[in-house]
Amino acid sequence: MYLNFMKKMGRYSLRLRNVWLIMRLTTLLLLIGMLQLSATSLAQKVNLQQKNAPLKQVLNELNRQTGYNFLYTESMLNRSKNVNVNIRNTPLKDALNEIFALQPLTYVLDKNTIVLALKPSAVAVVNTNAISSNQQTTKQIVKGQVLVPAGESALGVTLVVAARKIGLSTKADGTFELELQHGDILEFSRIGLSTLRLLYEDGNFKQLANKQNRVGQDAIEESSMISGRNNYLMVKLLPSPSSLDEIQVMAYGTTSKRISTGNITKISGEELNQSAVNDPLLALQGRVPGMIVTPDNGKPGAMSKVQIRGRTQVDTQFGANEEPLFIVDGVPMAAQNNNSNITMGNLARISAFSMMDMGNIESIEVLKDADATAIYGSRGASGVVLITTKKAKAGNTSYDINYSVGGSYLTLPKMLSTEEYVAYRKEAFKNDRIPMTNANAYDILLWDTTRNDNNMEELLGNMGKYTRLQAAVSGGSAGMSYRFSGHYNSETSSIYKSPTSTNVGTSVNIVSSSKDKKFTINMNTSFTHTLNRQSGVEMGNVIYLPPNAKLINEDGSLFWNENDFYVSGMSNPYAQLKNINESRIQNYIINAHLNYSILPNLTVRANLGYNQSKSKAVQTVSIASQNPKGSNLTGTTYWGNNDLQSINIEPQIEYTNPSLFGGKLNVLLGGTYNENRMGNDYIGALGYKDDEYLGTYIGLNSSNFTSPNMGTTEYKYAAAFARLIYNYKNKYNLSISGRRDGSSRFGPNYQYSNFGSIGASWAISEEAFFPKETFVSFAKLRGSYGITGNDKIGDYKFLDLYESNFFNSPYDSEVAMTPASFFKPDLHWELTSKLEFAAEGTLWEDRVNYSMAWYKQRTSDPLVQYPLPLMTGFGAVSANIKDVLVDNSGFEIMLGGTVIRTKSFQWSTDFNLTIPKNVLSRFDGLENTTYNLYKVGRSLNSLYRLKYLGVDPETGLNKHLDANNDGRLDLVVGGADMHYIGDSDQKYFGGWQNNFRYKQFNLSLFINFHRQIEINYENGAPIRDYGIRNMYAHMLDQRWKNPGDIATVPRVTQTNVPTTGVLGDFFTAAMNSDYLREELTMLRLGTVMFSYNLPEKLVHRLKLSRSSLFLQGQNIYSFYLDSKFNPNHYVGLHLPMPRRFTVGIQLNF
């Protein structure tokens, strides 16, 4: 049927072929371009025949043959000697050694650049205290150049003479010129690079010891001076080995832990890819303090809810969205964390993040406090998640391939066997004193009671298949570099004959710069095509099917109506295989970052981005999936289309003064224009007489169509922002930001608003009074305060709107327009103020790092959908509730470092813990609103339930407290019988990462944990444990059987039985009581990765640069400390996260 469907839906296959054609042509053109770019880098052997030739001529010839650039000054060439050389098919390094053997110069090979330098007599490491105080003060002009790691720009390296409060920044090509005098100490620094300090004496330089660049007692490669004689200086800066200096991406720039004034948590791409998942959000679970990631279900591509630092929504259905802002390479994602599907409801919500290439992610930074997020204005009210993809790096062409395959399965609970089930059903009728009939006991009287078909295992106990292939090629020259990558993922679930969902995509990054390095362009483009074919309907009742239910014949056809007995409303789970639930999503992103250095200290830039996401979904209900004895057997098709387009333009200008009053000043001015347009349509068709025509219009007329819906929305956002950062000697840091936002979602009186923040940090360990001989290596205090807004309430909420409805009766033969909402000029921003204080630093020579933060966020004027009296003509109105305050506060703790480090063995660990608190601090007039389920002083997630009194020993029924003795149970929140049992907030949560290395072997383990009130299924099931339904095996031994029994599970029953003394039924009362709810602590071994790095000799023999074999495990084992029930058991509500194992290989060459 599916093949026939595809034939009928030929436009889908045609478009798919077009997509593949575009991808193939793009790939071909890119490969041709990359081959041209990399050809010069591949020639590693040279041929030279020169006699008495100038050195410059020889270098030019080497450049022509190899593509290597030579860096030197004319003064160096003036000192050089002519060259006599005759070599053939000689390695480049050997040729260079022969050429420079008799020269007064030496060379340093740095990727695709060869740097020449005068041969120094020595590089001394001296003590600054030994410098004489009465030196000459004659000033000299010094010229030079700074080299940085290959693939990085040398722009922005700071040179400072702190004693004289002078400094400058290097030009784009790393060159500089400044005036020095005898005895000056010149310091080179830039975020992420180790600091270099040099002493200037009589035109020459000496390198000074730098304690900051040491980690423990291990030898490391430091930044160093290449040449420093005769007032010419050449230095090379290397990445800092200290975690304090690791580059962190922040809003519109970069920073480091050492100088940051905001709360930024960085998760590297390497950490993310230890998880065997295709969605980076799932890989973040438990790794970021203050962030909770909750997946909808365990099906491929399912969405996850992301919450940073607590709930702010008063109205959970219509309130302002509290998801963070997601930004990829500086451009906001068009889809954000919203549903990319349109037809199948919440059970089939598809995440835009599941389409990303995990292997292409360099890092993810999560910004939480006001200092880090306020510059994003209203978009960053709930935090910001910055996703940075891997970039092109100059150098020889390199290839990366990562391939893994594996399987996944569900952890299923133990249910009753047929023999146990039949006995329990008969006991239920005996307890209720009701006779068995074909209507209420067909599973006992008409079905085979000796059959045990094990339907749960057949339907849900299958092995899901998982495949991931990632490949990338990168390289290029200093003027232009490239990175091309592609990925293919396929996945099935554990459901019987689960269809395969696939995701394929490509991405390209090109970095190019002008000859003078003043202008650079960094362009990214990516395309993904996703086919998600997972069922749009959960098999929630499968585990509760009677074990003797026959569902399928030996030939694979569906089985219905045993003994010709028809049960109205009874479905066959296998029938889902006869239907189609399919979504095709194409996502295209292109963005460009343009930079032009007007002056060494002044740069203008523009961030430009365009994103389009198109989805087409189809869902069918076939005649073959329905009981043949049912009435009106016809087929149904639903179609849905969605087209989302986003444009983002951000011009900026940045000024840096490296020596203002002895410190470094950075000023950023910019603007933002963002426009989102979304169009969607939805329609259904009923009455198909033949399944062959499902998904087409064949055989239909206008009366067959139902629920047509079409809409287009447009959102515009504009802002101007400014940020000032001042860093004084890496000791005192100040950050001030301001932003004026304009949003199309608010009325004319409140379309614009101002937001801002201030943050400061103090490196207290750098003060003279701080003890030097202590285990504390670095200590910093920081704090921030700011105000942000939130406009995520949907479009056109303030306007006076009318709508036409397909089902409305016409008025005088004309289309009738009905009011949809009325004008609300005062609809305005929801506001959140953020306050934070923290202590951060390192211990024992940077081996251990720590961070302890306290935060408090207060949200006011929450946006809600406020109910109105029906006499107004409207059911509700979007509005701000005044005099309402919601507070989220808590502590975040991070502790990590290297526990053991030897030549053969290393153990590093990282631990994080969050202790949050949510409180409704104020709600004036609460009792007069529809939000009376809340109580001031308690959490928004408060739980009110009946008081469970246990199982009555005489009757075997559940007992609940009738608090007001009125003879009935009041199940309304706020009713007399409902009492406060706590809240569903997590009391604490966190994660613990451990990495072990022994020689060539590596093992990574990640454990996440939390404590909160949950449903403890050890006590029972979340469904009616009566009627024709199976039950958990462990409940059988705990049930009440005879009068006088002390039991934890009530007596079995087959109908709704009133509880003793009060009205209500067995299920409703129990589920609205504290019977199943208990505060539990859950631990999960979430990720395990074991890898083996092939020996270097073998790697070189295979002409590889690196290679490893690995085994991954995801969601390995979960357990409660307070309960025997497995939290990963399938309990019939939705598919849980599966347990997955993969094996793979990684090749780099």
Asked if residue 52 belongs to a domain, the reply is: yes
Span 444-471, mean pLDDT?
Answer: 91
Closest CA to 251 of 788, 646, 716: 788
Distances (CA, A) of 1061 to 945, 966, 976, 1049, 1069: 18, 10, 16, 19, 13
Q: Domain ends where: 86, 118, 150?
A: 118
Question: Distance between CA 123 and CA 571 in Å, rounded?
Answer: 83
Residue-level length of the chain: 1149
DSSP state of 841: E
Same-domain status, 113 and 159: no
From the centroid of its chain, how far is CA 715?
24
Give the number of other Cβ atoms within 10 Å of residue 221's Cβ. 10
* Host domain of residue 209: 128-241
Least confident among 76-85, 115-124, 145-154, 182-191 = 115-124
- How far is the first Cα of the chain from the last one, in angstroms, to the nearest whole number? 46
Same-domain status, 67 and 170: no
> In the structure, what pLDDT confidence band is assigned to residue 29 with cuts at 50, 70 and 90?
very low
Question: Distance between CA 282 and CA 1037 in Å, rounded?
Answer: 38
pLDDT at 133 over 70: no
Beta bridge mates, 304 = 295
Asked if residue 110 belongs to a domain, the reply is: yes
Which tokens in the block code for residue 24?
């193939």
Which tokens in the block code for residue 355?
């389409």
Same-domain status, 49 and 148: no
Closest CA to 943 of 1013, 1044, 891, 1006: 1013
Asked if residue 217 belongs to a domain, the reply is: yes
Question: How many domains in the chain?
Answer: 2
Which tokens in the block code for residue 220?
């490391």
Contact (Cβ atoms closer than 8 angstroms) between residue 141 and residue 161: no
The DSSP result for 50-68, as a single string, is EEEE-HHHHHHHHHHHH--
Q: Which residue has the tokens 């009946």?
A: 946
pLDDT at 880 over 80: yes
From the centroid of its chain, how far is CA 746?
29
More confident residue, 39 or 484: 484
Question: Distance between CA 803 and CA 800 in Å, rounded?
Answer: 10
**Of the spans 67-81, 92-106, 115-129, 183-197, which averages the highest pLDDT?**
183-197
Helix (H) or strand (E) holding 369: none
pLDDT at 364: 94
pLDDT digits (tens, 9 = 90+) for 153-203: 677 788 888 788 788 888 877 888 888 988 889 988 888 788 888 999 888
Least confident among 186-200, 519-533, 1060-1074 = 1060-1074
Span 310-324, mean pLDDT?
Answer: 87
pLDDT at 8 over 60: no
Beta bridge mates, 481 = 476, 511
User: What's 197's domain CATH number?
Assistant: 2.60.40.1120
Question: Distance between CA 551 and CA 557 in Å, rounded?
Answer: 9
Asked if residue 143 belongs to a domain, the reply is: yes
Same-domain status, 62 and 150: no
Same-domain status, 79 and 104: yes
Tell me how many degrees the CA angle 1032-1034-1036 measures, rounded to the nearest 5: 85
Helix (H) or strand (E) holding 109: strand 105-110
Question: Distance between CA 30 and CA 480 in Å, rounded?
Answer: 14
Contact (Cβ atoms closer than 8 angstroms) between residue 838 and residue 851: yes
Question: Distance between CA 1017 and CA 1009 in Å, rounded?
Answer: 19
pLDDT digits (tens, 9 = 90+) for 808-836: 556 666 667 777 777 888 888 889 999 99
Contact (Cβ atoms closer than 8 angstroms) between residue 741 and residue 378: yes
Within a 13 Å sphere around the CA of 134, how many CA atoms are in the beta-carbon half? 0
Asked if residue 1090 belongs to a domain, the reply is: no
**Three-state secondary structure call for residue 216:** coil
Cα Rg of the chain, angstroms: 34
User: Phi/psi class of residue 173: alpha, beta or left (left: φ > 0; alpha: ψ in -120 to 50)?
Assistant: alpha
Distances (CA, A) of 633 to 4, 35, 686: 20, 61, 11
**With the C-alpha atoms ordered 324, 326, 331, 336, is the resulting torsion angle positive or negative?**
negative
Same-domain status, 91 and 170: no
pLDDT at 347: 44
> In the structure, what pLDDT confidence band is assigned to residue 535 with cuts at 50, 70 and 90?
low
Contact (Cβ atoms closer than 8 angstroms) between residue 1132 and residue 543: yes
Three-class SS of 496-549: CCCCCEEEEEEEEEEEEECCCCCEEEEEEEEEEEEEECCCCCCCCCHHHCCCCC
Within a 13 Å sphere around the CA of 62, how many CA atoms are in the beta-carbon half? 25
Asked if residue 34 belongs to a domain, the reply is: no
Which tokens in the block code for residue 1094?
């092939």
pLDDT at 682: 87
- What is the percent of the chain with per-residue pLDDT over 90, rounded to a whole number? 41
pLDDT at 533: 87
pLDDT at 115: 78
Asked if residue 530 belongs to a domain, the reply is: no
Contact (Cβ atoms closer than 8 angstroms) between residue 610 and residue 649: no
Three-class SS of 243-280: HHHCEEEECCEEEECCCCCCCEEEEEHHHHCCCCCCCH
Span 624-630, mean pLDDT?
Answer: 92
**Three-state secondary structure call for residue 1100:** helix
Closest CA to 572 of 554, 535, 548, 545: 545
Amino acid letter for position 301 = G
Q: At what angle do helices 55-66 and 92-100 cross, to 10 degrees?
A: 180
pLDDT digits (tens, 9 = 90+) for 386-414: 999 999 888 888 999 999 999 999 888 88
pLDDT at 849: 94
pLDDT at 28: 41
Same-domain status, 133 and 195: yes
pLDDT digits (tens, 9 = 90+) for 726-771: 999 889 999 999 999 999 988 888 899 999 999 999 999 999 899 9
Q: Are strands 635-660 and 663-688 parallel, antiparallel or unpaired?
A: antiparallel
> E strands, 1036-1128, where?
1077-1093, 1106-1120
Which tokens in the block code for residue 122?
């020595």
Asked if residue 132 belongs to a domain, the reply is: yes
User: What's 59's domain CATH number?
Assistant: 3.55.50.30
DSSP state of 171: -
Least confident among 12-21, 368-377, 437-446, 714-723 = 12-21
pLDDT at 38: 38
Q: Domain ends where: 118, 137, 166?
A: 118
Same-domain status, 213 and 233: yes
Same-domain status, 148 and 170: yes
Q: Are strands 139-147 and 232-236 parallel, antiparallel or unpaired?
A: parallel
The DSSP result for 980-1021, as a single string, is EEEESS-SEEEEEEEEEEETTEEEEEEEEEEEEEEE-TTS--
Question: Distance between CA 682 and CA 564 in Å, rounded?
Answer: 39
pLDDT digits (tens, 9 = 90+) for 1122-1145: 877 777 776 656 778 899 999 999
Q: Domain ends where: 77, 98, 118?
A: 118
Contact (Cβ atoms closer than 8 angstroms) between residue 862 and residue 314: yes
Mean pLDDT (the chain, rounded): 84
Same-domain status, 134 and 113: no
Which tokens in the block code for residue 789?
């807004």
Q: Which residue has the tokens 């395990």?
A: 1088
Same-domain status, 90 and 143: no
Same-domain status, 61 and 159: no
Which pTM was predicted?
0.84
Give residues with Cβ within 8 angstroms of 439, minimum separation 6. none
